[in-house]
Amino acid sequence: MQSTQSAEARPAHNPLKNAYFGDLHLHSGYSMDAFAFGTRTTPEDSYKYAMGETVEYMGKPQKRIAPLDFLAVTDHAEYLGVVRDTIDPNGPFANSEWYTMMTNPDPAVSASAFRKLIGSTIVNKPLPEFSDPKLVRSSWEKYAAISDKYYKPGKFTTFVGFEWTSAPQFQNLHRCVIFADKGPAMPYTAFDSLDPEDLWRYLESQRKQGLDVIAVPHNGNASNGLMFSTRDMSGKPITRDYADRRMANEPLAEIIQAKGQTDTSPALSPTDEFANFEMWLYLIGSDKKANSATGSYLRQAYGVGQEQQAKLGVNPFKYGIEAGTDFHSGITSTEPSNFPGSHGNQDSDPKTVITATTSVGGEPPTALSSGGLTGVWAEENTRESIFAAFKRKETFGTSGNRIKVRMFAGWNYPKDMTKQADWVKAAYDGGVPMGGDLTPKAGATAPTLVVHAIKDPDSGNLDRVQIIKIWTKNGKSQEKVYEVVWSGDRKPDPKTGKVSAVGNTVDVKTATYQNTIGSTELIGEWTDPSFDPNAHATYYARVLEIPTPRWSTYWAAKLNLPPNPNVAATVQQRAWTSPIWYAPAKP
């Protein structure tokens, strides 16, 4: 049968929600540092690439295997779009040091330009040649209009965004700012203030003008303990008001991106054998390592947040989870087998990258990960529906793949609920989805959590689903990782409860793997075996894939070189859900 093709129908609104994937953290050539690295992509290229079109990056055509559903280009607000004039041989910078540095083919020279630019934000002294307010405004207006232009409701969603680049003494406090619909008159920069509380003031004033907006902090791992500190910028202990405002402005945190993951570190979670994954130990734009893991990672912050909640009445770190790339290439290229590098000339030459042991950013460029993606559960692919998911934290983060995972919690879920065809509806009706609060219930013995994970159809099978519990009592927090459901017929160790490794099918030399181990889908119900109704608890799920080649291993195989010894040759890609929280009833 054939029929005439009419314009493609807009997909129906799904009250039980679909998973959509996107990136809320991406830099194009409009970012000062990306431009210094030789990245010449524009935000238009970024949206086109995300939608599945071919764009040019570092002189080569690039195309995603699987297009994305949404994207926010978040160029650095400082000098946004105005540094691009430096390479014009007839332009205003023709005879200046900027021209020489920006057009120099040596990555070390462009890195020094980057240092100078980022340095001016760190010492908070804007370079006057890039700060003419008229130029900045005209550049911003163009930039925001591009985001509106590529928004196709029902098909592809764009958000107006920018990155606020605050990093006092190279300690990263960066936030990406994402608007619900129309963008603001002007972005807020680190020159305006380095203090997150001032950024929140800006967001609050935008909301008063009818522009809903959130900020998403990232790279606590490069913050030297500043990101999840219990003191404010002036060194005073945080207050209830601070906690309220932090959560009103920042519902989500970014758990992984190019410069490493912020879930946890082996130092903080010594019994978690999967903690050592895509670590980035350096401060931002610096060759110095962070001194402190404490205050830098989300998992620990969930516990500290509960301790604060017991004191202040509000949890200041009740973050939902998303993930992004922070690529400075203008393209969200998170597919390891299809990875063109992510930081312009800093990691575009495969041979240098595979053999390098040092770099301008501290870590060698191989240490950059192939990024992350944000997943949301939303009724339809529109700004309204997806932004609402951000705000209710019905989100998850992945290490760049498209694992679909959702979690619910309830007190009275029937046994084997997930065997029913309409279990999702029952899970919503009888409990809360991830991002929600499980409120105390008199007489209830323990909550049941349900997790459902489906593999990325273009990546490795699934190894296991775990629930990570952080509980707090009498001002003390503890964490434990529970195995919920796993592939094959492995049995948990009777002593530790741990399930053995899934195996490894990767052939490093050819950078190939087989989906002969692992599962396509894992679904499990888990009832907390040590629930204490008088303790605060945060529960989130982690889904692990079977080992697959890391992006750097694909590059090494192509060059017929051994993989760089500084990084793992194979990785277990993963996804993390937003938590579900429990707080005891007030006595």
In the complex, least distance from residue 546 CB atom to another protein, rounded to whole angstroms: 13
In the complex, least distance from residue 56 CB atom to another protein, rounded to whole angstroms: 6
Return the H-helix or E-strand segment holding 478.
Answer: strand 476-486
How is residue 492 annotated by DSSP?
Answer: -
Among 501, 521, 527, 585, binds another protein (CB under 8 A): 521
Q: Does 59 bind another protein (CB under 8 A)?
A: yes
Q: Does 475 bind another protein (CB under 8 A)?
A: no
Q: Does 210 bind another protein (CB under 8 A)?
A: no
Residues 19 and 395: their CA atoms lie apart, in Å, by 9
In the complex, least distance from residue 436 CB atom to another protein, rounded to whole angstroms: 23
| Amino acid (1-letter code) at residue 459 | S
Q: Copy the structure tokens of residue 577.
A: 């859900």
Nearer to another protein by Cβ, of 18 and 112: the residue is: 18
360 and 108 Cβ atoms separated by less than 8 Å: yes
Q: Does 61 bind another protein (CB under 8 A)?
A: no
Q: Which stretch binds another protein (CB under 8 A): 134-142, 357-365, 386-394, 405-413?
A: 134-142
Residues 513 and 515: their CA atoms lie apart, in Å, by 7
Q: Which stretch binds another protein (CB under 8 A): 127-135, 227-235, 314-322, 563-571?
A: 127-135
Nearer to another protein by Cβ, of 43 and 579: the residue is: 43
Nearer to another protein by Cβ, of 456 and 483: the residue is: 456
**Residues 7-36 as x/- pattern, contact with another protein by CB under 8 A:** xxx-------------------x-------
Q: Which stretch binds another protein (CB under 8 A): 6-14, 315-323, 350-358, 502-510?
A: 6-14
Nearer to another protein by Cβ, of 306 and 487: the residue is: 487
The helix-helix angle for 196-208 and 240-249 (nearest 10°) equals 60
Ramachandran area for residue 175 (φ above 0: left; ψ -120 to 50: alpha; else beta): beta
Nearer to another protein by Cβ, of 354 and 454: the residue is: 454
In the complex, least distance from residue 211 CB atom to another protein, rounded to whole angstroms: 12
Q: Which stretch binds another protein (CB under 8 A): 129-137, 254-262, 312-320, 440-448?
A: 129-137
Q: Does 6 bind another protein (CB under 8 A)?
A: yes
Beta strands in 63-142 (DSSP E): 70-73
Q: Does 416 bind another protein (CB under 8 A)?
A: no
Q: Does 454 bind another protein (CB under 8 A)?
A: yes
Q: Which residues contact 512 (CB under 8 A, 6 or more apart)?
A: 506, 549
374 and 69 Cβ atoms separated by less than 8 Å: no
Q: To 5 degrees, how large is the angle CA 79–CA 80–CA 81?
A: 110
Q: Report helix, strand or coil for 179.
A: strand
Q: Does 153 bind another protein (CB under 8 A)?
A: no
Among 218, 455, 464, 550, binds another protein (CB under 8 A): 455
Among 457, 494, 529, 565, binds another protein (CB under 8 A): 457
Q: Does 245 bind another protein (CB under 8 A)?
A: no
Q: Does 234 bind another protein (CB under 8 A)?
A: no
In the complex, least distance from residue 134 CB atom to another protein, rounded to whole angstroms: 7
Beta bridge partners of 429: none
Count of residues binding another protein (CB under 8 A)?
Answer: 46
Q: What burial letters (b/e) apply to 359-387, b meaning 16+ CB within 10 Å?
A: bbbbbbbbbbbbbbbbbbbbbbbbbebbb
- As a whole number of Å, the end-to-end CA separation of the chain is 68
Nearer to another protein by Cβ, of 80 and 222: the residue is: 80
Q: Which residues contact 241 (CB under 8 A, 6 or more apart)?
A: none
How is 264-300 classified by DSSP, letter by letter?
--TTT-TT-TT--SS---BPTTSSSBPS--TTT-HHH
How is residue 66 annotated by DSSP?
Answer: S
Nearer to another protein by Cβ, of 437 and 521: the residue is: 521
Main-chain phi, psi angles of 69, to 5 degrees: -100, -25
Residues 139 and 378: their CA atoms lie apart, in Å, by 32
Among 456, 463, 479, 483, binds another protein (CB under 8 A): 456
Among 25, 31, 37, 38, binds another protein (CB under 8 A): 38
Among 223, 519, 570, 573, binds another protein (CB under 8 A): 519
In the complex, least distance from residue 38 CB atom to another protein, rounded to whole angstroms: 7
Main-chain phi, psi angles of 196, to 5 degrees: -55, -30
Q: Report helix, strand or coil for 325.
A: coil
Among 458, 478, 509, 514, binds another protein (CB under 8 A): 458
Among 25, 32, 37, 42, binds another protein (CB under 8 A): 42
- Looking up tokens 């007190």 gives 411
Contacts of another protein in 166-185 (CB under 8 A): 185
Residues 147 and 141: their CA atoms lie apart, in Å, by 10
Residues 372 and 228: their CA atoms lie apart, in Å, by 21
In the complex, least distance from residue 71 CB atom to another protein, rounded to whole angstroms: 15
Q: Beta-carbon neighbour count of residue 91 at 10 Å?
A: 13
Q: Copy the structure tokens of residue 574.
A: 């993963």
Nearer to another protein by Cβ, of 157 and 519: the residue is: 519
Q: Which stretch binds another protein (CB under 8 A): 188-196, 293-301, 497-505, 512-520?
A: 512-520
Among 16, 91, 289, 501, binds another protein (CB under 8 A): 91
Q: How many residues does the chain have?
A: 587
Q: Does 515 bind another protein (CB under 8 A)?
A: yes
In the complex, least distance from residue 131 CB atom to another protein, rounded to whole angstroms: 11
How is 91-108 classified by DSSP, letter by letter?
STTTTSHHHHHHH-S-HH
In the complex, least distance from residue 40 CB atom to another protein, rounded to whole angstroms: 4
Q: Contact positions toward another protein, by CB under 8 A? A: 1-9, 29, 38, 40, 42, 52, 56, 59, 65-67, 84-85, 87-88, 91-94, 103, 132, 134-135, 138, 185, 421, 454-459, 487, 515-516, 519-521
